[in-house]
Amino acid sequence: MSRKDDPQDKFHAVTIIFLILGLGTLLPWNFFITAIPYFQTRLCLTHEVNGDSSTNISSESLVNGTAQCKDDFNFNNWMTLLAQLPLLLCTLLNSFIYQWISERVRIAGSMLAILSLFIFTAVLVEVDLGAQSFFDLTMATIWFINAFCAILQGSLFGLLTLFPQHYSSMFLSGQGMAGTFAALAMLLSMSSGADQLTIALGYFITPCIGTFISIACYFLLYRMEFAQHYLSKSITNSSKTYELETKTELLHQGEENGDAAGQKKAVLLLKEAETGGVGEEKKSVSVCVVLRKIWVMALSIVITFGVTLSVFPAITAKVESSVNDEGWKKFFTPVCCFLTFNIMDWIGRSITSKTLWPGPDCKYLPLLAASRFIFVPLFMLCNVTRSDRYYLPTLFYHDVWFIIFMIFFSVSNGYFVSLPMCLAPTKVLPHEGETTGALMTFFLALGLSVGAGLSFGFKALL
């Protein structure tokens, strides 16, 4: 709850900037997973007619679409794992380096590196390589691009703790929009009627433009009077007004939601700020102390992403349509898997801008997140391609079942991802905000890595 003499977010410019920055942080991951058909085609192996040996396909057969594809490289699983491991390691690294490397260097440097790697990926489309060489280069690119994404996300989450909670919600909504943006870009490319190489080239140029816009928006943020008002408080740490505003906002939210426990806590924090208990020039931050305050939120986000990445996209992208229509079969995975997931995930994230149920003091949030595990067997029993199914039967054959499961799966994912990220800053003091952002991003990456590892086991059980 800001004062009347504080600068205003004119035309919601800062809100839009954080929305674009959120979109930019997840563009790499979403553009890679929605481009799975392109990568699998490039990794096809054609078998010689008169022999048993295999040779890599050429650009000509790729363009003509005459190659017979087989997932010899297990691309989906390796892509997911090698995307999340650097995310985990570099997020942990970012928890330490943020004290020595300035926030501007970390954020701007990461975005420039991501832009360079996207340009490399676009150039690679036109280079004729063997399947093994292409696989190695693609995996190396995925590794490094997600390493920089980890540093970028952790730094931006730390920056967001300086702003009102509304901006965290908008940032997370932007991340949810990234998947929708990537899925729509893929659908438009596929609908163009061009050959696969031209489609892929145009597809990977799009995130280059998106990343460039994100870089411009980040530098523009520091020129906005409204943003400077909150950023200056981080630099000086000399005014108690910011903390009084934060605590008063918590009190106001507690009154609106009828949360007696939250209201009492807000009053205590308000009194603490008024008596000088907080707001000193510089305070040390203990990681263990912060972790004790946010462990419920941290565990919830690990479970949420662990469940999601265990089946998406390693198993969900293998589900095929039961309808005998070649046109629909071509668009089934982009529409029903990726587009549906990302739209509903964005809706789930956006719900937290209206409500934060069950609230910051709920101890059962991890159990609610764990209830999503029911989707794992449901997806495994859908109409997975016969070449990837060995043990389990198909119980949910019709496309409608898969779409229904995907809608509830993605909405719950978006909500249980956004909720802990929004609630965690309310559990700590303002000077612990940046450490909280770094820790929550680390546990987010931990959940992704756990899910990526589990995906190998679940796929083997099909």
- pLDDT (0 to 100) of residue 263: 46
Encoded tokens for 205: 């140029």
- pLDDT (0 to 100) of residue 63: 39
- pLDDT (0 to 100) of residue 220: 93
333 and 244 belong to one structural domain: no
| Cα gap 352→59, rounded to integer Å | 47
As beta bridge partners, residue 54 has: 47
356 and 245 belong to one structural domain: no
- pLDDT (0 to 100) of residue 95: 64
What is the model's pTM?
0.71
152 and 245 belong to one structural domain: no
Total domains present in the chain: 2
| 362 within domain boundaries | yes
- Structural domain harbouring 274: 239-280
371 and 249 belong to one structural domain: no
Please identify which residue in the block is written with the tokens 């594809």.
Answer: 69
Residues 6+ apart with CB under 8 A from 325: none
- Of 25, 208, 196, nearest in space to 121 by CA: 208
Residues 6+ apart with CB under 8 A from 371: none
Q: CA-CA distances (angstroms) from residue 362 to 159, 352, 368? A: 26, 15, 11
232 and 345 belong to one structural domain: yes
- pLDDT (0 to 100) of residue 342: 86
383 and 448 belong to one structural domain: yes
As beta bridge partners, residue 55 has: 46
| 1 within domain boundaries | no
- pLDDT (0 to 100) of residue 56: 47
| 4 within domain boundaries | no
Which residues in the chain show pLDDT less than 70? Answer: 1-5, 45-72, 94-99, 233-283
